[in-house]
C-alpha cells in the first residue's frame, strides 16, 4: 500500500449531459472550477461506471461502487444503511424502508422532497404519523428533512416487494407507481405500504405544519413515498480489505450509514444540511483535520444532486462552483506541499433535462505523489474520456488507490 494519504471529493449528482442553452456544453464544463481542474491537470483522469444494470439507479448503489463494495453480495437497500446511520438496531425480520416526505397535488407528485421540509416540521410530521399509525410492528423515524425511515417488524413482512424511486417519477401520477408484489409473496408488505401512503396523506394534509406552509405559499409535505427497503447485512470494512483507517464526512444518512458499515469514522459537521445552505467550509476544515489521523477521507456533498433534481440549471452551475471554491480549493490550499492523493468525481449523473439519475459513467481524476500527469487539463465529462485511467468499474477505483503500487497505471 502506498505511504501517502488520500481524500475523495464526491460531488453528488455533479455529472450531466450537453445542454443546448450552454452551447452544447455541460454545467461542469461551464462552471469555474480551478480546484477540480488542478487535480485533473496534475494527475490522471478517466471514467467510473457506478450504476450497473440489475441495481437501482440510486446513491446507495453509486457510492457503494465508488467505495469498492461487492454489490452482488453486499447490497442491502438504502433503508438499511440509513437505519445504521441513525443507530436504529435492525433485528432479524426487520425491514427498513426509506420514506420521503413528498408534495402531491391532484394525485400528481409535484415535489419528491416535500418542499425540502424544514427539520423541525419534518419531526413534527413524523410524530403525527406515529401517533396515528404506529403499531408494535410498524414505526416511523425522523431523518434529515424529507429523508425519513419506516421500520416494519415481524414474519408477516418481506422484502419481496418492488418500490420505485420518487425522484424518478416527479410529475407523474402517484397511483401509477405504487409498491407492487415481487415474486411469490402474498403481497402483505406491498398492501401495507400502499395503505400507509393513503392514510398518511389524510393525516398530513390537515396538519398545522402543512396549513402554515400553504399559507406561506410553500409546498406542503402532504405525502409519503416508501422505497428501497432492506435488512441488516454484513459489509467488509475498508480496514479488512485495504488495511487503512478511514473517515466519512456527509450530511445525509445513506452515506453515513454506508460509512459505518465500512468501518469508517463518521465525522459530524455542525450546519451540514444536505442542501445548498450546507456548511461547506466546515466540511473542508473537518476533512483537513481528519487527514491528520486517518489514511483516507471521503468528503461527500449532497447539494449538487438536490438542485439537479430540481432541474435548476443556473443553480447547478453555482452549486458546482461553490463545491469547488469552498470545499475543494480550501482543502487543496490546506494540503500544500503535503504528500496527499486527491480524487474528485460525482457518484452518478443527474442530467438537468431529466432531473433523475442515469447509468452513464462519471468522470474521475486522481492526483498525487504516485501519479504521472496525463494530457487532461480540465475536469469534466468529455475531457476525462481521454485520460490514462481508462474506463473503470465497480471496485477498480479503490483498487487503484489502495492496491499494490505496481497495480497503478502511470507509476513513477
pLDDT digits (tens, 9 = 90+) for 296-347: 999 999 999 999 999 999 999 999 999 999 999 999 999 998 999 999 999 9
Per-residue pLDDT of 114-166, as tens digits, reads 999 999 999 999 999 999 999 999 999 999 999 999 999 988 898 889 999 99
Residue with the bigger pLDDT between 2 and 315: it is 315
Residue reference for cell 399509525: 133
Domains within the chain, CATH numbers bracketed? 5-73+236-407 (3.40.720.10), 83-230 (no CATH)
Q: Where are the alpha helices (DSSP H) in 7-101?
A: 27-30, 34-42, 59-66, 71-74, 78-86
Give the strand pairing for 108-111 and 362-367. Answer: unpaired
The single-letter DSSP state of residue 380 is: S
Query: Is residue 409 over pLDDT 60?
Result: no
Q: Percent of the chain at pLDDT above 90?
A: 89
Q: Using an 8 Å Cβ cutoff, are 149 and 88 in contact?
A: yes
CA distance 255 to 258: 5
Cell of 168: 424518478
Residue 412 has a pLDDT of 34
CA distance 102 to 132: 19
Contacts of 113 (CB under 8 A, 6+ apart): 100, 101, 102, 103, 145, 146, 306, 309
Q: Where are the alpha helices (DSSP H) in 90-232?
A: 119-133, 188-205, 208-215
Residue 99 has a pLDDT of 97
User: How many C-beta atoms surround the C-beta of residue 372 within 10 A?
Assistant: 13
CA distance 77 to 320: 28
CA distance 253 to 88: 12
Residue 185 has a pLDDT of 59
Average pLDDT, integer, range 362-390: 97
CA distance 303 to 34: 19
Residue 160 has a pLDDT of 86
How does residue 1 score in pLDDT terms, banded at 50, 70 and 90?
A: very low
Per-residue pLDDT of 29-86, as tens digits, reads 999 999 999 999 999 999 999 999 999 999 999 999 999 999 999 998 889 999 999 9
CA distance 291 to 55: 33
Query: Is residue 407 over pLDDT 60?
Result: no
CA distance 330 to 309: 27
Residue 182 has a pLDDT of 80
Predicted TM-score (pTM) of this structure:
0.86
Residue 223 has a pLDDT of 97
Query: Is residue 191 over pLDDT 60?
Result: yes
Average pLDDT, integer, range 253-280: 96
Q: Using an 8 Å Cβ cutoff, are 138 and 200 in contact?
A: no
Amino acid at each position: 500500500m502506498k505511504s501517502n494519504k488520500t481524500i475523495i471529493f464526491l460531488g453528488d449528482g455533479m455529472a450531466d449531459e450537453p445542454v443546448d442553452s450552454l452551447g452544447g456544453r455541460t454545467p461542469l464544463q461551464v462552471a469555474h472550477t480551478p480546484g477540480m481542474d488542478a487535480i485533473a491537470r496534475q494527475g490522471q483522469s478517466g471514467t467510473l461506471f457506478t450504476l450497473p444494470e440489475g441495481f437501482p439507479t440510486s446513491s446507495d448503489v453509486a457510492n457503494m461502487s465508488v467505495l469498492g463494495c461487492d454489490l452482488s453480495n453486499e447490497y442491502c437497500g438504502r433503508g438499511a444503511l440509513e437505519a445504521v446511520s441513525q443507530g436504529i438496531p435492525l433485528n432479524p425480520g426487520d425491514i427498513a424502508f426509506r420514506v420521503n416526505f413528498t408534495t402531491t397535488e391532484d394525485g400528481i407528485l409535484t415535489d419528491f422532497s416535500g418542499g425540502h421540509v424544514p427539520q423541525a416540521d419534518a419531526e413534527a410530521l413524523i410524530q403525527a404519523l406515529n401517533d396515528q399509525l404506529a403499531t408494535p410492528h410498524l414505526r416511523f423515524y425522523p431523518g434529515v428533512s424529507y429523508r425519513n425511515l419506516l421500520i416494519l417488524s415481524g414474519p408477516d413482512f418481506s422484502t419481496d416487494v418492488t418500490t420505485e424511486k420518487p425522484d424518478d417519477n416527479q410529475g407523474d401520477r402517484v397511483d401509477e407507481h405504487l409498491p407492487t408484489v415481487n415474486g411469490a409473496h402474498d403481497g402483505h408488505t406491498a398492501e401495507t405500504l400502499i395503505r400507509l401512503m393513503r392514510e398518511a396523506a389524510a393525516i398530513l394534509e390537515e396538519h398545522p405544519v402543512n396549513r402554515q406552509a400553504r399559507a406561506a405559499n410553500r409546498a406542503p409535505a402532504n405525502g409519503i413515498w416508501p422505497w428501497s427497503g432492506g435488512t441488516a447485512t454484513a459489509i467488509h470494512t475498508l480496514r479488512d480489505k485495504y488495511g487503512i483507517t478511514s473517515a466519512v464526512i456527509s450530511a445525509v444518512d445513506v452515506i453515513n450509514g454506508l460509512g459505518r458499515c465500512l468501518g469508517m469514522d463518521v465525522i459530524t459537521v455542525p450546519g451540514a444540511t444536505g442542501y445548498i445552505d450546507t456548511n461547506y467550509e466546515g466540511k473542508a476544515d473537518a476533512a483537513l483535520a481528519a487527514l491528520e489521523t486517518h489514511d483516507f477521507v471521503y468528503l461527500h456533498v449532497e447539494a449538487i444532486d438536490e438542485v439537479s433534481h430540481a432541474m435548476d440549471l443556473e443553480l447547478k452551475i453555482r452549486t458546482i462552483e461553490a463545491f469547488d471554491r469552498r470545499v475543494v480549493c480550501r482543502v487543496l490550499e490546506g494540503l500544500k506541499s503535503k504528500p496527499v492523493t486527491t480524487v474528485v468525481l460525482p457518484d452518478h449523473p443527474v442530467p438537468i433535462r431529466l432531473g433523475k439519475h442515469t447509468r452513464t459513467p462519471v468522470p474521475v481524476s486522481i492526483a498525487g505523489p504516485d501519479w504521472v500527469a496525463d494530457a487532461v487539463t480540465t475536469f469534466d465529462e468529455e475531457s476525462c474520456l481521454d485520460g490514462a485511467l481508462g474506463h473503470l468499474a465497480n471496485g477498480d477505483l479503490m483498487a487503484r488507490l489502495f492496491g499494490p503500487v505496481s497495480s497503478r497505471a502511470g507509476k513513477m
